[in-house]
Amino acid sequence: MAPVTAFRKATPVLVVDRIEPVIPFWEKLGVIPTTEVPDGTAIDARLAFVILAAEGIEIMYQTVASIKDDLIRSASVKEAFPTDPQRTTLFIEVSELTEVERKLRGERLVMPRRTTFYGSIELGYTDPAGNIIVFAEHHVAPASA
């Protein structure tokens, strides 16, 4: 069955208390803010929303406060959105896992390097908001003759 529409992209939106602590984690990998939306209500110039991007990847973070503010204007969808920080697991394929390890040295490693039965070498870290980020390097097995 063909999809109803042509999908173009899927981008996760991670809901957190604060955005600023996660930015340095991603910047170590060259994933940088491309869009920043300040929280208009915060006294200390906090961010309400950010899009982080690099070649082949885009991740969004939005604060709980920002979501609550959005929902005040859209009362009909209040029940559909959680208004607490959420935790998720992202799976990201990379070309060079050793480079990820080098750049994230000092970050919290929660899944040491392992090789899966299907030939993927993986490891996982948490970002400062507690989301698990699994990085994987895939090796294509040679075709049997």
CATH label of the domain that carries residue 54: 3.10.180.10
The residue that leads in pLDDT, 35 or 5, is 35
Residue 8 lies in a domain: no
Under 8 Å between Cβ of 15 and 64? yes
Total domains, the chain: 1
Q: Two tokens at 144?
A: 């049997």
At 30, the amino acid letter reads G
**Residue 128: domain span:** 13-138
Residue 65 lies in a domain: yes
Q: Ramachandran region of residue 48, left (φ > 0), alpha (ψ -120 to 50) or beta?
A: alpha
* pLDDT of residue 3 exceeding 70: no
Backbone angles phi, psi at 96, to 5 degrees: -140, 95
Dist CA 91 CA 69 (whole Å)? 30
Residue 21 lies in a domain: yes
- Read off the pLDDT of residues 69-115 as tens digits, 9 standing for 90 and up: 777 666 555 566 666 778 899 999 999 999 999 999 999 999 999 99
Go through the chain and tell me how many residues it has.
Answer: 145
Dist CA 114 CA 136 (whole Å)? 10
Mean pLDDT of 57-64: 94
Residue 6 lies in a domain: no
Residue 95 lies in a domain: yes
Residue 5 lies in a domain: no
Residue 4 lies in a domain: no
Q: Tell me the residue ranges of DSSP E strands in the chain.
A: 13-16, 32-38, 47-54, 57-63, 89-93, 109-115, 120-126, 132-138
